[in-house]
């Protein structure tokens, strides 16, 4: 039974080229990051003997930075923080947003109105600014960034899930379940929640990509992690002042790394969107 289900799923998935490529990209980067200690040619923090601001060469494939560190090694290790921060923040936002959204959408009435108002208030607050203020309060560091980013994204999940919850609760099988005496909690869990998973997954993908960009943006503006930990966002902000001196390799590769990772997540998101909207699948013969 399970095998048949799996095969059917894989058959469907295999037609989603976009999503597969996205998953390969993300998977590779995660793999590289995990295997960093074995792949990176030099220590990203303590090796400082590469010569100052050397352009890419055979010895240092992507060049060195102003403290003599190897850029390639820093890029290999540098995905760890963005992935962790973005991933954890997005998950926290998802769980929180979903819970509040389901609750609010199902209950309706004043509860719903209140929560919607609060979420609207948070939503109308420009995200990056809110994140900056929170980081400035909690201090730079993983905890501060995770908290800031997750806080900013809760309204997004809330909206998606609430919308779905409002829609679904009017449907017949929910009425039926209620008539059978099922409690609200059970209905939420068994009937409504699973139906929101699809849209939430799509949002999650884009969300992680956006969170990575936010984390990089925070680092760029000076609210990111303290040195000398390798981090793509930090390395870009670090390399900014050398751009006009012609030392392009400090920014370029870290930027490309961020783009590729976000691209991967974006493609996954697109692929999932395609999946859940059957109308959009191929129509031409």
Contacts (CB under 8 A) with another protein, residues 253-272: 255, 258-259, 261-263, 266-267, 270
Cβ 111 to another protein, closest distance in Å? 15
Judged by CB under 8 A, which of 26, 150, 238, 249 binds another protein? 238
**Cβ atoms within 10 Å of 117's Cβ, excluding its own:** 10
Shortest separation between residue 161's beta carbon and another protein, angstroms:
18
Residue 70 pairs in a beta bridge with 64
SS3 string, 19-86, reads HHHHHHHHHHHHHHHHCHHHHCCCCCCCCCCCCCCCCCCCCCCCCECCCCCEHHHHHHHHCHHHHHHH
How many CB atoms within 10 Å of residue 237?
21
Binding segment for another protein among 4-12, 34-42, 158-166, 220-228 (CB under 8 A)?
Answer: 220-228
With respect to another protein, which residue has the nearer C-beta, 92 or 138?
138
The CA distances from residue 170 to 106, 110, 178, 224, in Å, are 10, 18, 11, 45
Q: What number of helices (H) and strands (E) belong to the chain?
A: 13, 0
CB of 259 to another protein, least distance (A): 5
Number of residues that bind another protein (CB under 8 A): 71
Nearer to another protein, 193 or 215 (CB): 215
Span of 74-82, 96-104, 153-161, 276-284 interacting with another protein by CB under 8 A: 276-284
Within 46-105, the residues that bind another protein by CB under 8 A are: 46, 48, 52-53, 66-68
- Mark the segment that binds another protein (CB under 8 A) among 26-34, 86-94, 124-132, 182-190: 124-132
Residue 85 or 135 having the CB closest to another protein: 135
- Phi, psi for residue 70 in degrees, rounded to 5: -80, 125
Q: Distance between CA atoms of 262 and 270, rounded to whole angstroms?
A: 12
Residue 3 found at the interface with another protein (CB under 8 A): no
Nearer to another protein, 1 or 244 (CB): 244
Tokens at residue 30, please? Answer: 């995660």
Task: State which of positions 166-195 bind another protein (CB under 8 A).
Answer: none
The span of 28-36, 99-107, 159-167, 210-218 binding another protein (CB under 8 A) equals 210-218
Find the shortest distance in angstroms from Cβ 279 to another protein: 5
Q: What is the DSSP string of 139-202?
A: -SSHHHHHHHHHHHHHHHHHHHHHHHHHHHHTSHHHHHHHHTT--HHHHIIIIIHHHHHHHHHH
């Amino acid at each position: 039974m399970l095998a048949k289900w799996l095969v059917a799923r894989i058959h469907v998935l295999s037609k989603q080229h976009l999503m597969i490529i996205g998953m390969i990209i993300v998977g590779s980067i995660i793999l590289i990051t995990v295997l960093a200690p074995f792949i990176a040619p030099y220590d990203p923090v303590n090796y400082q003997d590469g010569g100052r601001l050397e352009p890419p060469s055979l010895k240092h494939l992507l060049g060195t930075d102003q403290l003599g560190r190897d850029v390639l090694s820093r890029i290999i290790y540098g995905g760890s923080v963005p992935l962790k921060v973005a991933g954890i923040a997005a998950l926290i936002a998802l769980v929180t947003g979903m819970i509040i959204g389901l609750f609010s959408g199902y209950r309706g009435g004043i509860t719903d109105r209140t929560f919607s108002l609060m979420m609207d208030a948070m939503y109308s607050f420009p995200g990056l600014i809110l994140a900056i203020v929170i980081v400035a309060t909690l201090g730079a560091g993983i905890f501060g960034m995770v908290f800031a980013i997750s806080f900013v994204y809760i309204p997004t999940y809330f909206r998606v899930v609430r919308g779905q919850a409002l829609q679904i609760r009017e449907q017949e099988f929910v009425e039926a379940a209620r008539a059978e005496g099922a409690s609200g909690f059970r209905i939420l869990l068994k009937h409504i929640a699973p139906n929101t998973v699809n849209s939430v997954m799509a949002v999650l993908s884009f969300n992680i990509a956006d969170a990575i960009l936010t984390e990089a943006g925070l680092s760029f503006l000076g609210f990111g992690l303290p040195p000398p930990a390798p981090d793509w966002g930090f390395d870009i902000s670090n390399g900014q002042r050398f751009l006009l001196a012609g030392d392009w390799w400090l920014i370029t590769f870290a930027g490309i790394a961020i783009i590729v990772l976000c691209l991967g997540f974006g493609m996954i998101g697109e692929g999932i969107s395609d999946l859940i909207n059957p109308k959009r699948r191929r129509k031409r013969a």
